[in-house]
């Protein structure tokens, strides 16, 4: 049979392609130093099954070579052009001896268990029966402070997250508790809803089929007890402002003033931060501002984590009397200043049990009531009281004390 020039060229090209696939250079073939036969030796890789490897790469894996050797010297090893692939990706190979090498795992976006494959002069060996178990890594968690009641959406940044199964109940753990609503956004980002947790530190752990992330400073969060105000005993503040003792619910505020400071506990009235001092593990005293409302919404924050707001009562009060005494016959005119919700519409002024006639004067900061002291049946101290325009009875204060004398 005769061959055309064109068919001989095609056959030559096919031979060269086969040699290149086997790791033989075209220049070597052209010089006649090789034959068109691929290396028959297929090297296998034997190593500890599920060798843990960082998904960022760099883990060195000791490998025992099977099926042949990699050369008796580093020079012979170099001539054999031994290479490796881990999980289908090229990996660095270092010579140890004839049957031992070290393979450096490359980086991966998919933290899972993968096989290794060796090549000698371009000839591929079998995939390993052992696997390299890539585990994900955590670089940061935002936010780092969480409410103990849970429910905060958290963003975890790291690596290897494409190997994470979001449906796995243990895919994202906060300490011993599993996160909910896990979403693998990308190879480097996961979002999850934090579960409830005990006050204190917790480690965020990401788990894939290859393993679990290592604990480090960047994977830690701090749960803060969601503290509130116990309103069972109806704590009541004066409309004129002043100290108010609060019972704290949901946890403690520290066993000492020093611990209280370290826990960074604060109390807000609306958006206004109040001066708070430690009393004991479950009580703080706050300095309330003057308020012209029937209630005030108080929120306790623990290291900037806010608990549920609670409404405390604000009582109308007498803030001053222009005169402090009169005879039981009465008749003296006394200017009574008051504070509270709808204070300008206050009614029902009494000196003790004795109703008084009062006339409103001024408005705003100059608001006052001029009252005529009513008669009394006996001498002694009494409290001046009234009902605010919102219908609340005033509370006793030192400023409201008035004295009747017998003469």
Name which residue leads in pLDDT, 17 or 171.
171
**Span 53-80, mean pLDDT?**
97
Residue 77 near residue 68, CB atoms below 8 Å? no
Q: Is 101 found in the same domain as 122? A: yes
Tally of domains within the chain: 5
| Same domain assignment for residues 206 and 238 | no
Task: Of 20-29, 35-44, 186-195, 241-250, give the lowest mean pLDDT range.
Answer: 20-29
| Average pLDDT of the segment spanning 251-274 | 96
**Structural tokens at position 140:** 């940061």
> Is pLDDT at 398 greater than 60 in this prediction?
yes
Is the pLDDT at 34 greater than 50? The verdict is: no
Report, as an integer, the average pLDDT of 97-117.
Answer: 98
Range 227-256 average pLDDT? 97
Instruction: Tell me, yes or no, whether 188 and 233 share the same domain.
Output: no
Grade residue 38 by pLDDT with cuts at 50, 70 and 90. Answer: low
Domain that holds residue 3: 1-38
Q: Assess whether pLDDT exceeds 70 at residue 18.
A: no
pLDDT-based confidence at 37, cuts 50/70/90? low
| Long-range contacts from 330-334, C-beta under 8 angstroms, 24+ separation | 330/354, 330/372, 330/373, 330/374, 330/375, 330/376, 331/372, 331/373, 332/372, 332/373, 333/370, 333/371, 333/372, 333/373, 334/370, 334/371, 334/372, 334/373, 334/402
Q: Which of 128, 127, 84, 86 is nearest to 110 (CA)?
A: 86
Full strand arrangement of the beta sheet holding 44-46 = 44-46, 60-66, 100-104, 89-97, 83-86, 116-120, 123-124
- On whether the CB atoms of residues 404 and 379 are closer than 8 A, the answer is yes
- State what percent of residues in the chain have pLDDT above 90: 89
The answer to whether residues 304 and 354 belong to one domain is: no
User: Of 272, 399, 401, 294, which Cα lies nearest the Cα of 343?
Assistant: 294
* Percent of the chain residues past pLDDT 70, beyond the cut: 91
Do 219 and 141 share a domain, yes or no? Answer: yes
Mean pLDDT on 218-227: 97
- Tell me which of 286, 315, 344 is where a domain ends: 315
The backbone region for 28, taken as left when phi is positive above 0, alpha when psi lies in -120 to 50, beta otherwise, is alpha
**Torsions phi, psi for 405 (to 5 deg):** -115, 155
- Per-residue pLDDT at 6 exceeds 80: no
Q: Which of 134, 164, 189 is the last residue of a domain?
A: 134
- Domain end: 206, 224, 242, which one? 224
What is the tens place of the pLDDT at every residue in 297-312? Answer: 999 999 999 999 999 9
Question: Is residue 281 domain-shared with residue 266, that is, in the same domain?
Answer: yes
Which of the four pLDDT bands, split at 50, 70 and 90, describes residue 407?
A: confident
- Element holding 12 (H helix, E strand): helix 5-21
| Residue 39 banded pLDDT, cuts 50, 70, 90 | confident
Measure Cα distances from 224 to 177, 242, 277, 302 in Å: 15, 29, 19, 6
DSSP-derived secondary structure letter, 215: P
CA angle 273, 278, 281 (to 5 degrees): 120
Across 163-178, average pLDDT:
97
What CATH number does residue 209 fall under?
2.60.40.10
User: What's residue 25's pLDDT?
Assistant: 47
Give the mean pLDDT of 31-46.
72
- For the cut 80, the answer to whether the pLDDT of residue 3 exceeds it is no
**Whether residue 367 is found in the same domain as residue 387:** yes
Do 241 and 302 fall into the same domain? yes
Do 179 and 147 lie in one domain? The reply is yes
Is the predicted pLDDT of residue 222 greater than 50, yes or no?
yes
Nearest-CA neighbor of 386 among 335, 333, 318, 323? 318
Mean pLDDT of 155-181: 97
On whether both 343 and 393 belong to a single domain, the answer is: yes
Same domain, 149 and 120: no
pLDDT digits (tens, 9 = 90+) for 334-391: 999 999 999 999 999 999 999 999 999 999 999 999 999 999 999 999 999 999 999 9
For residues 311 and 326, state if they share a domain: no
């Amino acid at each position: 049979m005769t061959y055309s020039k064109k068919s001989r060229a095609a056959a030559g090209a096919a031979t060269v392609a086969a040699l290149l696939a086997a790791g033989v250079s075209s220049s070597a073939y052209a010089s006649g130093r090789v034959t068109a036969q691929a290396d028959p030796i297929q090297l296998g890789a034997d190593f500890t099954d599920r060798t843990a490897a960082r998904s960022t790469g760099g883990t060195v894996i000791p490998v025992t070579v099977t099926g042949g050797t990699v050369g008796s010297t580093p020079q012979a090893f170099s001539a054999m052009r031994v290479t490796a692939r881990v999980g289908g990706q090229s990996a660095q190979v270092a010579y140890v001896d004839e049957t031992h090498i070290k393979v450096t795992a490359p980086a991966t976006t998919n933290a899972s268990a993968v096989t290794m494959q060796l090549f000698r002069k371009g000839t591929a060996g079998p995939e390993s029966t052992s696997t390299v178990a890539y585990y994900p890594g955590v670089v940061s968690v935002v936010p780092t402070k969480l409410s103990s009641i849970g429910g905060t959406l958290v963003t975890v940044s790291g690596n290897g997250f494409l190997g994470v199964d979001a449906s796995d109940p243990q895919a994202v753990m906060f300490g011993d508790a599993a996160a909910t609503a896990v979403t693998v956004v990308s190879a480097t980002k996961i979002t999850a809803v934090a579960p409830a947790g005990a006050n204190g530190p917790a480690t965020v752990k990401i788990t894939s089929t290859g393993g679990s992330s290592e604990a480090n400073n960047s994977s830690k969060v701090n749960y803060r007890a969601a503290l509130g105000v116990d309103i069972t005993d109806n704590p009541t503040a004066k409309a004129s402002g002043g100290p108010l003792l609060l019972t704290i619910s949901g946890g403690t505020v520290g066993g000492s003033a020093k611990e209280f400071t370290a826990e960074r506990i604060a109390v807000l009235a609306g958006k206004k931060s109040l001066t708070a001092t430690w009393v004991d593990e479950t009580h703080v005293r706050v300095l309330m501002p003057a308020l012209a409302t029937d209630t005030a919404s108080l929120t306790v924050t623990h290291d900037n984590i806010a608990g549920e707001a609670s409404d405390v009562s604000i009582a109308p009060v007498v803030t001053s009397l222009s005169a402090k005494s009169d005879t039981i016959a009465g008749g003296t005119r006394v200017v009574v200043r008051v504070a509270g919700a709808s204070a300008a519409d206050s009614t029902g002024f009494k000196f003790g049990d004795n109703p008084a006639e009062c006339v409103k004067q001024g408005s705003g900061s100059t608001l006052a009531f001029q009252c005529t002291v009513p008669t009394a049946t006996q001498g002694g101290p009494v409290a001046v009281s009234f009902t605010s325009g919102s219908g609340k009875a005033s509370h006793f204060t030192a400023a409201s004390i008035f004295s009747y004398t017998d003469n």
